[in-house]
Amino acid sequence: MKKCGWKKVLVDGEPEKYVKTGLKFCPCKNFNGIIYWQYFGGEKRYICSACHGDTRKPEEEKPLIVPSSIKCGIYIVYWKSGGSSIASIGMMANGGRWIAPINWVRTSEDQDIFNDIERLKRIDIDTHKLTEAE
């Protein structure tokens, strides 16, 4: 029998351009709405009375940075590996993005490089204000 659990689903956008994912509760076939709690290893768990699966909602992962959702501009790039760079991000003819950190020899058109980014802050050239990129 399949146990109750949480499934990652698309929340916003089309499959090829999604920006966010969310978690949806998927009950077991025999789910009757009755959930009891018990302590396990000092931690409170909420258990389905039918399948005995843990029904607590897990922590959501930080959404992926989808290159096509990034506006062209100048950014502070915070890398997952640590450190940061100032970089220019622009658009290619096919709609993909290139990135050119100022300390690199050439731009990168490899879309997988965006998986290495923890977060971005856009630098407004006119006001010199930083805004969190979405």
Tokens representing 132 are 């969190």
pLDDT of residue 42: 82
Residue 51 φ/ψ, nearest 5 degrees:
-105, -10
pLDDT in tens, the chain (134 residues): 588 888 877 665 554 454 556 678 888 888 888 888 888 888 888 888 888 888 887 776 655 677 777 888 999 998 888 899 999 999 988 888 899 999 888 888 887 788 888 888 888 877 767 666 65
pLDDT of residue 60: 61
CB atoms within 10 A of CB 120: 23
Radius of gyration of the chain (CA): 21
Rounded to 5°, angle at Cα 60 from 54 and 64: 145
User: Phi-psi category of 36—alpha, beta or left, where left has phi over 0 and alpha has psi -120 to 50?
Assistant: beta
Residue 13 φ/ψ, nearest 5 degrees:
100, -175
Asked whether the beta carbons of 99 and 88 are under 8 A apart, the reply is yes
pLDDT of residue 1: 54
pLDDT of residue 85: 92
- List the domain boundaries for the chain: 1-63, 67-132
pLDDT of residue 18: 47
